[in-house]
Amino acid sequence: MDYKKTLNLPQTRFAMKANLPTKEPQQLKAWEESGLYAKIREESKGREQFILHDGPPYANGNLHIGHALNKILKDIIIRSKQMDGFDVPYVPGWDCHGLPIEHNVDKKLGSKKKEMSKADIRRKCREYAGNFVNIQREEFKRFGVMGEWEDPYLTMNYPFEARIAKECGEFAANGDMFIGKKPIYWCCSCQTALAEAEIEYADHTSPSIFVKFPLKGDAAEIDASLAGKNVSFVIWTTTPWTIPANLAVCLNGEFTYAFVETDGEVMVVAKDLLEGLMTSFGKESYTVLFETEGATLENKVCRHPFIDRDSLIILGDHVTLEAGTGCVHTAPGHGADDYITGLKYGLEPYSPVGNNGCYTEEVGEEFEGKFIFKANAELIEKMDACGALVKHNEMSHSYPHCWRCKKPVIFRATPQWFLSMDNTGLREKALAEIDKVEWIPSWGRERIHGMIANRPDWCLSRQRSWGVPIPVFYCEKCGEVHADQASVDKIYDLFKEHGADIWFEKEAADLLPEGTVCGKCGHGTFTKDTNILDVWFDSGVTHSAVLNDRDGLKRPADLYLEGSDQHRGWFHSSLLTSVGKTGKAPYKAVLTHGFVVDAKGHKMSKSVGNVVAPKEVINKYGAEVLRLWVASTDYRDDVRISDNILKQLSDAYRKIRNSCRYMLGNLDGFNPDTDRVAYEDLRDIDRFTLARLATLIERVTKAYETYEFHTIYHSLNNFCTVDLSSFYFDIVRDALYVEGTDSAVRRGIQTVLFDLVDAIVRMMAPILCFTAEEIWGHMPDFEGKKESVHLMAGAEPKAHWKNDAIIERWERLVTLRDEMNKALEKARSEKLIGQNLDAAITVTAKGETLAFLESFSSELKQVLIVSDLTLAEGDAPEGAFVSDEVEGLAVQVASASGDKCERCWTWSPSVGEDGERPTLCSRCRGILDRTA
């Protein structure tokens, strides 16, 4: 007889090979066809809401690995909160306006652009952005991310553009905005102002020059020792092109300045820098004639090195001793500190540079029309020729570049619209709101607090076409700005119906309420503003355009989650726009993640060749492994990825999958509603496993609540490989396969296996959403089982599973088992036995240890998976394995007596006693008799 057929071998249609790249798209299609997301929304009605508000990615290009990290993190949170009993609608969105899109459209249009109107260019930009929204939407869905994909928010949608214009218009109407000429980041290539968040830093080589500014008037007025001397203040700069815009030399009032005579002239530098500077200048011989505090030199006057213009000596706290001379070249039109300090002295923000980066006629014929960076060399030559140049070399340093064209930017003063940080107390209110928000990690609070505390007024205007216009008008007669609530409301209604394009298609009279007149002079004809808004304002008002305007959402959001760079980006702009309008932060908590880097911690770069594309990962491993990668990392720091890391995660995934497959196979024929064994009738090992499961569920639940997903990955992986595969499965395999199908022992194990897989599949569902659904489809049906695991509640431990006493007792046995297994491993290595069932062991112990083992006497053979086991008291017999860890414990391993049972593979003297079934042991004969 083939006794194999009498065994309860695992049976399941759940595949061993995951084949994720093929199966996942099928699962996505099934979810879509079944309307799963809509069912989840329906199921959630009436629950407490949890809103994770999506920061919009830019609708330009394919998704990179950073997008995968961000969106998968969000999806894990959304799914876990949903299973935790919340209503969690997720509305993804896209940032659709701005320079990068317009830049790419410009390249495509080429020379055709010159013949096109702004409205035509905007239509092309809208088409371009729409195309990438569709491309990225499918890529996000392929990650397994669920949400309102058919109704996302787009900043270029008409109602959204209307909301942006309304928010901006009301800031203008309330006096929070002003026109000012201030130095701002300017890209000469893209010919537009840039926000700080649109700046990237990269290494750049610049000229480094030291230049003399001769003192005007009689130097003896400062000190008699200077009478008749040629005195010059020496400045240092890496931007020679700004020298034509110099209006002052700035000192620190608290520093001591030395008047140093060398080679027949007197140089003025900070005393603390004197020695190093003289060495650098090659001045071996010099004499300090006079020293004085910087404050005593305020309002002295110098001559510009080559322009017939004065340069005032002024004071500023930004002057340091870290580099340079302690005398700072000051061009108020080309530097933030220069501008702020210049205001105190009535210096205008003079900037003789045009939009294209070329000098204007203000600098004179010699340099007019020349590109500023190319003019550096000629300027240095001119200063050298006139005797003003002290030293010139080159230096490499970190320099701001445009995020789009990657070219160096400049600071340039131009008339721009600004949102005031202080006129109506915006800064103070924003700082107060920061303290009411939970920042995860906690250092995020200090970071954004410092940024808000020290930031300048927000430059809102941009000189481009593709964006939302600043909805203000100017009186044609007196130039007065017109922005009132009536005009804001009219624009809002027009934009909702026609989009912002109407601003570029209609005259001012068509956009204003009928009868509008200038509040200053009463004139009735107006012109429109020609600027568009900074795109950070667009995304910064999503709290209003999405959370407030959409049904079924709420403000403030429970969570904003983006990369750590968004402290100066979306978190920042959202805070200012929300506090500016409502006085409140738009979020209750802000969570940040790091950047994705390669295995060595290096930034990803196409030129280096270390870029990992999510599409390639999915094609090779499946989205599930990508999701596991996200969950396995402490994402609050930079996150490493490589093919080797992904291979390791693929192996870990396989172990988790195989553990679940083993449980499913052994649940064949089990009905959870009718075959379940009561807890009090379970064996100790089964109850110990449920107690361990309860601990796991509590740990995982807490980890989801605190967003510690790497804890979940490591806990699940460890539980499946150590607690289950290497312990529980190993021990109960014999009973599962050999005992009668309906026996109490086997049904008890199946009860535990069902509770295990039911809990594990729910715990893994937010992370391994595809695999959890596949497992769910192969689990036995039971009362309350819904069509999808994603419609179910999360795992919850039953109160009676928690049992500290049984955990303490069995964990001690596990430690003793590990020691006894060392003896079996030694016997295997010495070829005494082939596998544990070939062994009969004698365990020698003393006192309390022996008594403890005797309390398990009926279970020890199964726990150690040996054919025979004897407990003995006394000293270790000769040749026995002696434990180093447990005092007095020794194990003697011998070959089991009798013959090997054909059915259960246990060695027993009872094999051969039954003439009709000579290959079976007495246990197997009894089982077959009972099930006949």
Number of domains in the chain: 3
Q: What pLDDT is attached to residue 921?
A: 95
3-state SS assignment for residue 225? helix
Q: What pLDDT is attached to residue 60?
A: 92
H or E element in which residue 204 lies: strand 199-214
Point out the annotated binding site for Zn(2+). 901, 904, 921, 924
Q: Exposure of 328 by Cβ count < 10 A (0-12 exposed, 13-18 middle, 19+ buried)?
A: buried
Q: What pLDDT is attached to residue 150?
A: 95
Largest CA distance in the chain: 131
Q: Which residues of 14-31 are buried (b: 16+ CB within 10 A; e: fewer)?
A: beeebebbebbbebbeeb
* Same domain (yes/no): 820, 852: yes
How many percent of the chain have pLDDT more than 90? 77
Give the long-range contacts of residues 290-293, CB within 8 A, separation 24 or more.
Answer: 290/222, 290/223, 290/225, 290/226, 290/258, 290/259, 291/256, 291/257, 291/258, 291/259, 292/222, 292/223, 292/256, 292/257, 292/259, 293/253, 293/254, 293/255, 293/256, 293/257
Q: Does residue 184 belong to any structural domain of this protein?
A: no
> What's the Cα-to-Cα distance from 32 to each of 36, 78, 146, rounded to whole Å?
6, 18, 10
**Is residue 235 within 8 Å of 319, Cβ to Cβ?**
no
Q: Does residue 820 belong to any structural domain of this protein?
A: yes
Per the prediction, the chain carries an average pLDDT of 93
Q: What pLDDT is attached to residue 111?
A: 82
| Domain termination site, one of 387, 410, 433 | 410
Quote the CA–CA distance of 864 and 885 in Å, as a whole number: 18
H or E element in which residue 578 lies: helix 570-582
**Is residue 313 within 8 Å of 299, Cβ to Cβ?**
yes
**Confidence band for 619, pLDDT divided at 50, 70 and 90:** very high
SS (H, E, C) 432-457: HHHCCCEEECCHHHHHHHHHHHHCCC
Q: What pLDDT is attached to residue 405?
A: 83
> What's the Cα-to-Cα distance from 771 to each of 34, 205, 549, 656, 765, rounded to whole Å?
18, 52, 36, 10, 8
**Antiparallel, parallel or unpaired: β 192-194 and 177-187:** antiparallel
Name the residue type at position 380. I
Q: Does residue 283 belong to any structural domain of this protein?
A: yes
- Say yes or no to pLDDT of 608 above 90: no
Q: Does residue 655 belong to any structural domain of this protein?
A: yes
**Is residue 900 within 8 Å of 906, Cβ to Cβ?**
yes
Give the CA count within 13 Å in the CB-facing half-sphere of 14.
25
- Say yes or no to pLDDT of 855 above 90: yes
* Same domain (yes/no): 761, 842: no
Q: Exposure of 913 by Cβ count < 10 A (0-12 exposed, 13-18 middle, 19+ buried)?
A: middle
Count Cβ atoms below 10 Å from residue 357 Cβ, excluding itself.
Answer: 23
**Is residue 494 within 8 Å of 552, Cβ to Cβ?**
no
Point out the annotated binding site. 562, 606, 901, 904, 921, 924
3-state SS assignment for residue 628? helix
Q: What pLDDT is attached to residue 244?
A: 94
Quote the CA–CA distance of 195 and 417 in Å, as a whole number: 12
Please give the average per-residue pLDDT across 760-788, as a whole number: 97
- Residue 217: which residues within 8 A CB-CB, separation 6 or more? 300, 301
Q: What pLDDT is attached to residue 402?
A: 87
Quote the CA–CA distance of 287 and 267 in Å, as a whole number: 10
* Same domain (yes/no): 352, 279: yes
Q: What pLDDT is attached to residue 388?
A: 92
Quote the CA–CA distance of 678 and 660 in Å, as a whole number: 23
- Say yes or no to pLDDT of 204 above 90: no
**Confidence band for 473, pLDDT divided at 50, 70 and 90:** very high
- pLDDT, tens digit, 9 for 90 and up, residues 335-353: 888 888 888 888 889 999 9
Q: Does residue 766 belong to any structural domain of this protein?
A: yes
Positive or negative torsion for Cα 148, 150, 155, 161: negative
* Same domain (yes/no): 314, 371: yes
Point out the annotated binding site for ATP. 606
- Say yes or no to pLDDT of 683 above 90: yes
* Same domain (yes/no): 349, 205: yes
Q: What is the dihedral of CA 706, 710, 713, 719, to 10 degrees?
A: -80
* Same domain (yes/no): 782, 814: no
- Say yes or no to pLDDT of 463 above 90: no
Residue 338: both structure tokens together: 């220069």
- pLDDT, tens digit, 9 for 90 and up, residues 819-832: 999 999 999 999 99
Quote the CA–CA distance of 49 and 45 in Å, as a whole number: 9
Quote the CA–CA distance of 285 and 401 in Å, as a whole number: 42
Q: What pLDDT is attached to residue 707?
A: 97
Please tell me what DSSP assigns to residue 115. G
Please tell me what DSSP assigns to residue 54. P
**Among 111-115, 360-364, 456-460, 765-769, whose mean pLDDT is lowest?**
111-115
**Is residue 576 within 8 Å of 546, Cβ to Cβ?**
no
Q: Exposure of 588 by Cβ count < 10 A (0-12 exposed, 13-18 middle, 19+ buried)?
A: middle
- Taking each helix axis from N to C end, the angle separating 623-632 and 20-34, rounded to the nearest 10 degrees, works out to 90
Residue 475: both structure tokens together: 């009186």
C-alpha 731: how far from its chain's center? 43
* Same domain (yes/no): 811, 787: no
**Confidence band for 321, pLDDT divided at 50, 70 and 90:** confident
3-state SS assignment for residue 585? coil
The CA-CA-CA angle for residues 440, 445, 446, to 5°, reads 130
Count Cβ atoms below 10 Å from residue 781 Cβ, excluding itself.
Answer: 9
Residue 848 sits in a domain of what CATH number?
3.30.2320.20
**Is residue 598 within 8 Å of 640, Cβ to Cβ?**
yes
| Domain termination site, one of 773, 802, 831 | 802
H or E element in which residue 261 lies: strand 256-262
Please tell me what DSSP assigns to residue 55. P
**Confidence band for 306, pLDDT divided at 50, 70 and 90:** very high
3-state SS assignment for residue 777? helix
Q: Does residue 94 belong to any structural domain of this protein?
A: no
Q: Does residue 298 belong to any structural domain of this protein?
A: yes
Please give the average per-residue pLDDT across 900-906, as a whole number: 95
* Same domain (yes/no): 755, 688: yes
Quote the CA–CA distance of 411 and 209 in Å, as a whole number: 19
The secondary structure of 119-173 as a DSSP string is: HHHHHHHHHHHHHHHHHHHHHHHHTT--S-TTS-EETTSHHHHHHHHHHHHHHHH
**Among 357-371, 556-570, 681-695, whose mean pLDDT is lowest?**
357-371
Phi, psi at 416, each rounded to 5°: -140, 160
Q: What pLDDT is attached to residue 205?
A: 86
Give the CA count within 13 Å in the CB-facing half-sphere of 581.
25
Count Cβ atoms below 10 Å from residue 164 Cβ, excluding itself.
Answer: 31
Cite the beta strand spans of 324-442 per DSSP E: 328-330, 389-402, 410-419, 438-440
* Same domain (yes/no): 779, 644: yes
Q: What pLDDT is attached to residue 317?
A: 84
Quote the CA–CA distance of 734 and 901 in Å, as a whole number: 13
Q: What pLDDT is attached to residue 616?
A: 94
Residue 345 sits in a domain of what CATH number?
3.90.740.10
R_g (Cα) of the chain, nearest Å: 38
- pLDDT, tens digit, 9 for 90 and up, residues 20-44: 999 999 999 999 999 999 999 999 9
**Confidence band for 774, pLDDT divided at 50, 70 and 90:** very high
Q: What pLDDT is attached to residue 366?
A: 86
665 is in which domain, residue-wise? 3-15+637-802
- Say yes or no to pLDDT of 601 above 80: yes
- Say yes or no to pLDDT of 83 above 90: yes
* Same domain (yes/no): 642, 787: yes
| Domain termination site, one of 358, 380, 410 | 410
Higher pLDDT, 445 or 607: 445
* Same domain (yes/no): 684, 828: no
Please give the average per-residue pLDDT across 320-339, as a whole number: 90
CA nearest neighbour of 624 among 15, 29, 272, 144: 144
Residue 766 sits in a domain of what CATH number?
1.10.730.20
> What's the Cα-to-Cα distance from 181 to each of 143, 193, 568, rounded to whole Å?
47, 12, 23
Q: What pLDDT is attached to residue 99?
A: 83
Give the CA count within 13 Å in the CB-facing half-sphere of 614.
26
Q: Exposure of 782 by Cβ count < 10 A (0-12 exposed, 13-18 middle, 19+ buried)?
A: middle
Q: Does residue 508 belong to any structural domain of this protein?
A: no
Q: What pLDDT is attached to residue 119?
A: 86
Please give the average per-residue pLDDT across 766-791, as a whole number: 97
* Same domain (yes/no): 275, 296: yes
Quote the CA–CA distance of 468 and 538 in Å, as a whole number: 8
Quote the CA–CA distance of 587 and 556 in Å, as a whole number: 5
**Is residue 187 within 8 Å of 355, Cβ to Cβ?**
no
Residue with tokens 């053979």: 861
- Say yes or no to pLDDT of 403 above 80: no
Residue 760: both structure tokens together: 């594990």
**Is residue 551 within 8 Å of 502, Cβ to Cβ?**
no
> What's the Cα-to-Cα distance from 871 to each of 224, 232, 579, 836, 861, rounded to whole Å?
107, 99, 74, 17, 11
